[in-house]
Chain A
Amino acid sequence: MADTLAPGRPTPVAGRGRGGRIALRTVGLAYVAILVLVPLGIITWRALSPGLPAFWAAISSQQAITAFRLTAEVAFASVLLGTAFGVALGILLTRYHFVGRRLLGVLADLPMAVSPIVAGLALVLVYGHNGWLGGPFEAAGVDIIYAVPGMILATTFVSLPLVLREVVPVLQEVGTDQEQAARVLGAGGWHTFWRITVPTIKPALTYGVVLALARCVGEFGAVAVVSGNVSGVGQTQTTTLVIAERVQQMEPGAYQLAFVLIVTTVAALLVAAHIRRKDELS
């Protein structure tokens, strides 16, 4: 970043503070190394040191495969919901004025301040067996809690503001000139949205989707509450729940599954960093 942006380039202030800068750099790097980098190295070693056959066995068991499939289904549905919500609300908050707009922005941000356990509990209280809306769904034969729909709700809850937070600053920054021009030239609302708004927010949107995806794949607490943590027949355990079970039951294979998630996370971050750099250069 410092190579492209002149103001970001460090300019020594009259040759002073150089020693201080190196000291700060050392402290910062040491902190990150001790807290993050070394632990990631150790867990990688623990995942791979039992050998490739053990690694394969850990990630290809019936339980692991089912968990991967559930994780993918839940994450995909949640990201889709969160993206639709984020884009729609982002446009409403930045392009329209209506009573309670500011409050709506704050409420949409609320999930960031809610513990995953509280989120899961809250959903159980509404959609569970004796919940406020549990009865009607039960009568209709739709299981929500202890089933996939509840897991999707929980995951959507905790990742809800992520896309919104990425698209709002961009929508604010670009303003409405192009959209108004399109309107004047006779484009309808839907047409303007797809041809002007979506291409404008595309980098921020992609970035938000990648972040939300990482978050959804890794959700643990909220899903632990609403899924019932069922293993075996009718498994509702996602990958993170299987990891927790294997660690707590002292079964092998936790490190290997964790390694798969670490690789996924780092890949997502690399994609996100790439999008951000392209966005800044253009």
Chain B
Amino acid sequence: MTTTLVETPVGATAPAAAPTGARAQRTGAPLGRASGLTLGVVMLGLSLLVLLPLAAVGAEAATNGWSGFWASVTAPAAVDALVLTVTSSLVVTAVNVVMGTLLAWVLVRDDFPGKRWLELVIDVPFALPTIVAGLVILSVYGRNSPVGIDLFGTRWGIMVALLFVTLPFIARTVQPTLMAFDRDTEHAAATLGARPRTVFRRIVLPPLVPAIAAGAALAFARAMGEYGSVLLISGGLDKTQVSSMYAFSLYESYDFPGAAATATVLLVVSLVVLVGFEIVSHRAGRRG
């Protein structure tokens, strides 16, 4: 299973996941003229496209000094937006940790007609344009809801949209790990009289923790930054404004330092969470 939609970060976990690959990496060739030139071009491109612009966000946020930055990020609207963003991202990640692990289990261990289609449907939220995802959610849970559930302009609506877009991350990260499992230990435990629940908790779950953590990190980071999928269902109200919408509104009113301050907070929270999950994943992987 080398090709999945969602994988753990390239540089961060590759050595842990493939020890032989890591050894091969270490003994890789030194740079020659052509490869050195390629590295230069890649570095230049990455700098111009990603690194320099992200640095510019930090610099713009610092335009009015620390007090200006602090005033921007502690403005009531900014705090409300951040609290909503973080809490709904956490809740959504928690729900999809459970449901994603369950779905991965169903995809790997269960067998029924149409299983392939289930895999396809799980991938849809990953590839669907976010604004289309937003429209999909709106058409079911918006005004004139055909199922009688009106979540327009509510925080529940935000949550449903985020559940939708983060659905594939955990399921698709856990699936390959579960697939590679040697099942002898499970059989042994079951033969020795362990109940299915005990087998799952004591045998199956511990080695899955790194994959679950990696998937959860991706899902959380995605939820933190979501814009398109939550825009329509939010109804543009203050109480349903997430941080990315708040940053966009500041940008549209030409408050660039304010928008950059909010963007910086979003970046920092995402990175802290990614690193945190990486540590959890690393520790669990070593213990397992």
Chain A residues proximal to chain B, CB less than 8 Å: 1-2, 5, 7-11, 13-14, 16-17, 20-21, 24-25, 27-29, 31-32, 35-40, 42-43, 46, 81, 85, 88-89, 91-98, 101-119, 121-126, 131-133, 153, 156-157, 160-161, 164-166, 168-170, 172-173, 175-176, 189-190, 203-204, 207, 211, 214-215, 217-221, 224-225, 239-241, 243-244, 247-248, 254-255, 258, 261-262, 265-266, 268-270, 272-273, 275-276, 279-280
- Looking across the interface, which residue of chain B has its beta carbon closest to that of A161? B10
- Looking across the interface, which residue of chain B has its beta carbon closest to that of A110? B50
Q: Return the contact of B120 from the options A88, A173, A270 (Cβ within 8 A).
A: A270
- A220 to B248, Cβ gap below 8 A? no
A81 and B24 CA atoms in complex are apart in Å by 28
Q: Residues of B contacting A103 with CB < 8 Å? A: 11
Given contacts A39-B139, A42-B139, A211-B127, contact A13 B7 (CB under 8 A): no
Which of B30-38, B71-79, B205-213, B280-288 faces chain A? B30-38
A10, chain B: closest CB distance, angstroms: 5
B151, chain A: closest CB distance, angstroms: 12
Q: List 19 A-B contacts (CB under 8 A).
A: A7-B181, A36-B125, A39-B139, A85-B45, A95-B35, A103-B11, A106-B11, A108-B10, A109-B10, A113-B271, A115-B270, A164-B10, A169-B2, A172-B25, A189-B35, A211-B127, A215-B127, A224-B248, A261-B129
Q: Return the contact of A172 from the options B9, B21, B59, B99 (Cβ within 8 A).
A: B21
Cβ of B156 under 8 Å from chain A: no
- B131 to A244, Cβ gap below 8 A? yes
- B28 to A94, Cβ gap below 8 A? yes
Nearest 4 A/B pairs, CB to CB: A105-B11, A218-B129, A115-B225, A122-B53
- B30 to A221, Cβ gap below 8 A? no
A25 and B105 CA atoms in complex are apart in Å by 9
- A279 to B271, Cβ gap below 8 A? no
A5, chain B: closest CB distance, angstroms: 8
Q: Residues of A contacting B111 with CB < 8 Å? A: 2, 9-10
Q: Return the contact of A21 from the options B109, B224, B225 (Cβ within 8 A).
A: B109
A38 and B164 CA atoms in complex are apart in Å by 12
- B49 to A113, Cβ gap below 8 A? no
Q: Residues of B contacting A110 with CB < 8 Å? A: 50, 54
Q: Residues of B contacting A244 with CB < 8 Å? A: 131, 228, 231-232
- Looking across the interface, which residue of chain B has its beta carbon closest to that of A170? B2
A183, chain B: closest CB distance, angstroms: 10
Q: Residues of B contacting A27 with CB < 8 Å? A: 102
Cβ of B84 under 8 Å from chain A: no
Known: A119-B53, A215-B127. 13 other contacts (CB 8 A): A36-B125, A42-B146, A106-B9, A107-B50, A112-B218, A125-B56, A131-B56, A157-B53, A189-B34, A189-B35, A247-B232, A266-B120, A266-B124
- B42 to A85, Cβ gap below 8 A? yes
- A13 to B218, Cβ gap below 8 A? no
Cβ of B82 under 8 Å from chain A: no
A241 and B130 CA atoms in complex are apart in Å by 11
- B127 to A13, Cβ gap below 8 A? no
B102, chain A: closest CB distance, angstroms: 5
A2, chain B: closest CB distance, angstroms: 5
Q: Return the contact of A105 from the options B10, B125, B231 (Cβ within 8 A).
A: B10
- B135 to A221, Cβ gap below 8 A? no
Q: Residues of A contacting B32 with CB < 8 Å? A: 189
Given contacts A39-B140, A240-B129, A269-B127, contact A107 B53 (CB under 8 A): no
B 104-127 binary contact with A (CB < 8 Å = 1; else 0): 011011111001101111111101
A96, chain B: closest CB distance, angstroms: 5
Q: Residues of A contacting B122 with CB < 8 Å? A: 32, 36
Q: Residues of A contacting B35 with CB < 8 Å? A: 91-92, 95-96, 189
- B11 to A88, Cβ gap below 8 A? no
- B57 to A125, Cβ gap below 8 A? yes
- B53 to A123, Cβ gap below 8 A? yes
Interface residues of B in 5-50 (CB under 8 A from A): 5, 7, 9-12, 14, 18, 21, 24-32, 34-35, 38-39, 41-43, 45-46, 49-50
- Looking across the interface, which residue of chain B has its beta carbon closest to that of A180? B29
- A96 to B179, Cβ gap below 8 A? no
- A96 to B3, Cβ gap below 8 A? no
Q: Return the contact of B225 from the options A108, A118, A157 (Cβ within 8 A).
A: A118
A19, chain B: closest CB distance, angstroms: 10
A241 and B53 CA atoms in complex are apart in Å by 23
Q: Residues of A contacting B27 with CB < 8 Å? A: 97
Cβ of B67 under 8 Å from chain A: no
